[in-house]
Amino acid sequence: MRGGGLADAYSMYKRASTKDQFTDYEDREENLDRTENGVWKEIGNPSWKRPLPHILVAIISSLLFGYHLGVVNDTLESMSLDLDFSGSTLAEGLVVSTCLGGALLGSIFSGWIADGVGRRRGFQLCALPMIIGASMSAATSTLGVMLLGRLFVGIGMGLGPAVAALYVAEVSPAFVRGTYGSFTQIATCLGLLGSLLIGIPAKDTAGWWRVCFWISTIPAALLAVLMEFCAESPHWLVKRGRIDLAEEELEKLMGASHVKYAIAEMSKTDKGDEVDNVRFGELLYGRHFKVVFIGSALFALQQLSGINAVFYFSSTVFKKAGVPTDTANTCVGIVNLTGSIIAMMLMDRLGRKVLLIGSFLGMAVATGLQVAAASSFVPSFAVLYLSVGGTLLYVLAFSLGAGPVPSLLLSEIFPGRIRAKAMALCMAAHWVINFLVGLLFLPMLEHLGPQIVYAVFAGFCLFAVAFVKKNVVETKGKTLQEIEFALLPSH
């Protein structure tokens, strides 16, 4: 949660049980009173409806992120024939990895962009390279332009998740912040699933891969245009000293009765010029080191648990079971989406920490099933059941916690002063680990075999359980000030 003040406006609202979040608060009138000494106090929670349209626009960036992750899965073969690099594993690898390289670049600069021009402009700068890159990829007749287009798209993919996590956390009322924070993961799943479904005709329809890229420019353009009508983060505005504008945006997001209280609370913790003075070194040592280390470690463990390897290997597992690749990918996508929706419903009920622990435990069990399937002690008829069941269980467990929680939790635990830049650093660590796991997975699988590789992943999952239990503070039901106090010593 925001420790500084950027997101403090919403943490101050005493959270009600999420059992009532979409009923009791729907028609409830919130009031604001002044105590005898002139201090503003708040009664009730702001409406969950007001920020919802703004959040739905923001998560278009997550939809695009998921779409571009999966858009080359079914289109790579036909693309390689049209662009004359069929049979070149190097060229095929570059089409995928160039996008990941761009995402690393985008994530590195996301914090400085979000702090420099604001969250809304950050989204628009995320959409711009996606439109340019997708258009270049769709229209090209050469591999070089395709790679340049994928690089541009990757930069947008790197910017999007960090800015989305910041924005959603900063405009959401505290009592539904976990629910709204889960929207980004659901949108990513929808984008990934959409790319798989849209890409199905690519194998039989000439030039369909170009259509797949052109389609992605539509939501990107919508993001850029609709963001013009969305509220800017009031926390960013307060840090910039633009109090009048912050009050206007707060009225859009929460209603007039909550504005004075929110401004009063943010003004206590936000220091207008400090956000520009955050240096990279401050994130790596001193009083901020603990929260930055926890955030980076969560993203590292998310990748070291083997999620991308499991996704990659799932096609082989299903193929052995006689399931066509398209059907297998769709099944995995549906399970991922289902788990993300369940996580959304549980995020503000069970809490972030419980979901993380349960998720990593479930992933450990699932990889254990894969280890058993690869052993010589299991009857042949049971191998397929263990492999397919283990894969689906792993995806489900991941989507319940390890997938949606880290980005939400990081946007909550980082103090407002360093939030955007700390998120950028952790996202960059995420992409580096992602790249390394992708680079080493196949060689490890070839030399060590699936039994040992999955055992390593299971070990990381169990280590993640211990790490979360020891280091992660539960943020459900706590104000941002309480979380900052728990994680950041005052001296």
3-state secondary structure of 252: helix
The answer, as to whether pTM is greater than 0.75, is yes
Per-residue pLDDT, averaged over 419-430, amounts to: 88
pLDDT of residue 55: 95
How confident is residue 490, by pLDDT bands cut at 50, 70 and 90? low
How confident is residue 378, by pLDDT bands cut at 50, 70 and 90? confident
Half-sphere exposure of 370 (CA within 13 A, CB side): 31
Per-residue pLDDT, averaged over 4-24, amounts to: 37
Helices (H), 305-418: 307-320, 325-346, 352-373, 380-397, 405-413
pLDDT of residue 29: 36
Burial of 282 (0-12, 13-18, 19+ CB in 10 A): middle
pLDDT of residue 404: 92
pLDDT digits (tens, 9 = 90+) for 177-220: 889 989 999 999 999 999 989 988 888 888 899 999 999 999 99
Answer for the pair 12, 42: CB distance below 8 angstroms, yes or no: yes
Tokens of 142: 């050469």
Calpha distance 469→284 (Å, rounded): 23
pLDDT of residue 175: 84
Burial of 446 (0-12, 13-18, 19+ CB in 10 A): exposed
pLDDT at 12 over 80: no
pLDDT at 3 over 70: no
pLDDT of residue 217: 97
pLDDT of residue 393: 94
* β-sheet bridge partners, residue 33: 41
pLDDT digits (tens, 9 = 90+) for 300-311: 999 899 887 787
For the four alpha carbons of 224, 227, 233 and 239, in that order, the dihedral sign comes to positive
Lowest mean pLDDT among 229-233, 279-283, 362-366, 468-472: 279-283
pLDDT of residue 272: 52
pLDDT digits (tens, 9 = 90+) for 401-411: 999 999 888 88
3-class SS shares of the chain: helix, strand, coil, % to 5: 75, 0, 25
pLDDT of residue 488: 62
Per-residue pLDDT, averaged over 2-23, amounts to: 37
How confident is residue 360, by pLDDT bands cut at 50, 70 and 90? very high
pLDDT digits (tens, 9 = 90+) for 217-260: 999 999 999 999 999 988 888 888 888 888 888 888 887 777 77
